[in-house]
Chain A
């Protein structure tokens, strides 16, 4: 059947080898070249060991929003006749190549639905993001690896949610069934393997059915817009939720949904580049104004903003969509075990039970 193939486990890497000659391929891997250590989506080439048995340490956001992205390069050329005069040349060319992300997870894609609203709708459309988004395909795993920090069902998604994905990867006995879901590149996988047998197809169907029923996370974190506003000035609440915060940038940097950036000109003498780079609302400098005034001077102000942005401001602006995909990375990686499920989940409650 067209648009559906089976990749046996022992042929995964040879299949990806073939695939990466057709399209730039990114797959979850460890920078240490083996199955241990932190993982991220890395350029796949022959020899890379794909790590598909767990969520990546870093989300895929840097594929669409690089940590530092050159918006333009500039150079001043002095006029030899009049050195006070300089001609400015600008170069804002960028090259975006068609790319396939293999082994994304539903929470990764859920985060992109927020990115899409922010960067592609409304009065400000971001050409850099749009170009990358248009050229990137996603093959997403039906996720069966939830751990104690996962809560995708709490944000209106789930471990089998394929919204935004171009291909579905379902792990079955002995391998993976990959099936096409969109019109973007329907035959990309066709020549790479045999069609799944009837048994394999029905096993995949059963797994998708089962996983669709999983509920990952007990709370429903939607609909907190109003509750957050009421909590805004409840300093005791924020003190209880974030007194232990270190003001580091881990939660925002590992978050697939955090998109805040800064723009700086980085020059070396007469030439330089204008960079857009990740910023973090957890940093003191994020809101520091030129006058020296800082509207969010303490970590409590900053943590409150993080929760408010994700569970109140974004949903208010974008029809209830949350700025959180429930991936759990901020919980897993927080050095002091702050759990955003508590801060967001108790907004509506009269009392909170966390110190």
Chain B
């Protein structure tokens, strides 16, 4: 923590604003924080509870407009978040030179809902991660949970725990939990099902969707935001009906607009109050893009995502 504070303090004179994580009223979760003075630096934290991808704040309205054009915006990113930044830079939503990226080596973030499964009805007082365990203190005493049982699904399949782009690196590089070829095992498990089973799986899961649009709004690459065609009356793609047809169509719109762009940061799935594994849809599309076009999103700021260009010599499809 002191390392983070020290490095941010050193960089602060060149920063207009710093985006990071701070403690929230819930020990299992953190909240984004926007700071621009030395006194507030002590509020910044880094822990396995810093699950949120902060890069969306750079592009979603109202996007920060620096008062001083020569100053940069500082932002904390984990490995997965850094890939979103790369995608935003590729698509020219943010300028690389305007950013000071504090890259954090990440050993995985915690999914509070998985904790609640193991310690239901818990009134959590404090929580911390030590080695491969989560130590949680509540009104019943101390619970010791295995880290792998409480990590987010995206972290269990993570291929990029270390930032792929950064100006200042924090922490020792993290090692992969899985071998990279296993990254799409969750999608493969769904693919193994019969067509009927898959239909039943998605019908049952998507039926819980309330169309609160949290998955869309949390997605750093869903940049249409207030102009999203899921909500516009002209053109009108979706009705206010609550049937599975509307829900399915919304999620397909969301996923198709991210094909080959999604960096699998898992925000859509993390924020879903109905616990729908919506990132799986994007993982499936990414796997197709990877198999057919050999492209992985969010690695090279100078690359052009395949769905954003046209190559007459394309051989993959």
Contacts and interface: CB of A to CB of B under 8 A. Distances in A.
Interface string B204-221: 100110111110111000
Nearest to A33: B204
Specify which of A250, A254, A285 lies most central, judged by the most chain B CB atoms within 10 Å of its CB.
A250
B132 interface: no
Interface string A328-343: 0001110111110110
A4 B43 CA distance: 54
14 contacts: A31-B208, A147-B121, A149-B26, A244-B34, A248-B214, A248-B271, A250-B212, A266-B239, A266-B241, A284-B225, A298-B61, A337-B24, A337-B29, A355-B33
A275 B218 contact: no
A264 to B, nearest CB: 5
Given A277-B242, A298-B62, A355-B40, A339 B25 contact: yes
B124 A57 contact: no
Interface in A235-290: 243-244, 246-250, 252-254, 262, 264, 266, 275, 277, 280, 283-285
Interface string A301-337: 0000000000000000000000000000001110111
A275 B225 CA distance: 25
Contact of A253 (B32, B204, B210): B210
A67 interface: yes
A67 to B, nearest CB: 5
Given A147-B121, A148-B124, A249-B213, A355 B43 contact: yes
A181 interface: no
A54 interface: yes
A153 to B, nearest CB: 15
Nearest to A268: B239
A146 interface: yes
B296 interface: no
Given A148-B123, A253-B212, A338-B31, A264 B275 contact: no
Nearest to A243: B34
A147 B25 CA distance: 12
Contacts of A21: none
B22 interface: yes
A38 B240 contact: no
A146 B139 CA distance: 11
Interface string A168-212: 000000000000000000000000000000000000000000000
Interface in B20-74: 22, 24-26, 29-35, 40, 43, 52, 56-57, 60-62
A214 to B, nearest CB: 12
Contact of A335 (B22, B43, B52, B275): B52
B313 to A, nearest CB: 41
B120 A54 contact: yes
Nearest to B24: A337
A57 B273 contact: yes
B117 interface: yes
A252 B273 CA distance: 12
Q: Which interface class (under 10, 10 to 19, 20 to 34, 35 or more) fits B? A: 35 or more
A247 B217 contact: yes
B122 interface: yes
A337 B31 contact: yes
B214 A68 contact: no
Q: Which interface class (under 10, 10 to 19, 20 to 34, 35 or more) fits A? A: 35 or more
B226 A147 contact: no
B231 interface: yes
Interface string B118-133: 0011111000000000
A13 B48 CA distance: 40
A248 B212 contact: yes
Interface in A130-160: 145-149
Given A246-B217, A355-B40, A147 B273 contact: no
B270 interface: yes
Nearest to A272: B239
B24 A54 contact: no
B307 interface: no
Contacts of A295: none
B212 A280 contact: yes
A53 B52 contact: no
A37 interface: yes
A81 interface: no
Given A68-B240, A298-B62, A335-B214, A148 B208 contact: no
Contact of B25 (A32, A146, A299, A331): A331
B11 interface: no
B52 A262 contact: no
A291 interface: no
Contacts of B210: 67, 249, 253
A299 B56 CA distance: 14
Contact of A38 (B31, B122, B239, B273): B273
A355 to B, nearest CB: 5
Interface in A43-64: 53-54, 57
Nearest to A55: B121
A36 interface: yes
